[in-house]
Amino acid sequence: MIRINLLPHREIRRKRQQQQFFVMLGVVVGIGAAIWFAVHSYLEDQFNNQVARNKYLQAEIEKLDKQIAEIQKLKDQTAALLARKRVVETLQGTRSEVVHLLDQLVRQLPDGVYLKAIKQAGTRVTISGYTQSQARVSTLMRNLDSSPHLQQPGLIEIKSTTQAGQRINEFTMNINITRAAPDDAKRAQKR
Q: What is the pLDDT of residue 40?
A: 96
Mapping DSSP onto H, E and C, the string for the chain reads CCCCCCHHHHHHHHHHHHHHHHHHHHHHHHHHHHHHHHHHHHHHHHHHHHHHHHHHHHHHHHHHHHHHHHHHHHHHHHHHHHHHHHHHHHHHHHCCHHHHHHHHHHHHCCCCEEEEEEEEECCEEEEEEEECCHHHHHHHHHHHHCCCCEEEEEEEEEEEEEECCEEEEEEEEEEEECCCCHHHHHHHHHC
Name the residue ranges covered by the structural domains of the chain. Answer: 94-190
How confident is the model at residue 182, as a pLDDT? 54
Q: In terms of residues, how long is the chain?
A: 191
CATH class for the domain made up of 94-190: alpha beta
pTM of the model: 0.48
pLDDT tens digits, 151-166 = 788 888 888 888 778 8
Looking at residue 21, what is its pLDDT? Answer: 95
Per-residue model confidence as pLDDT tens digits over 8-46: 777 888 899 999 999 999 999 999 999 999 999 999 999
Per-residue pLDDT of the chain (191 residues; tens, 9 = 90+): 677 666 677 788 889 999 999 999 999 999 999 999 999 999 999 999 999 999 999 999 999 999 999 999 999 999 999 999 998 887 777 777 777 777 877 887 888 888 888 888 877 888 888 888 888 888 888 888 888 777 788 888 888 888 778 888 888 988 888 776 655 545 555 55
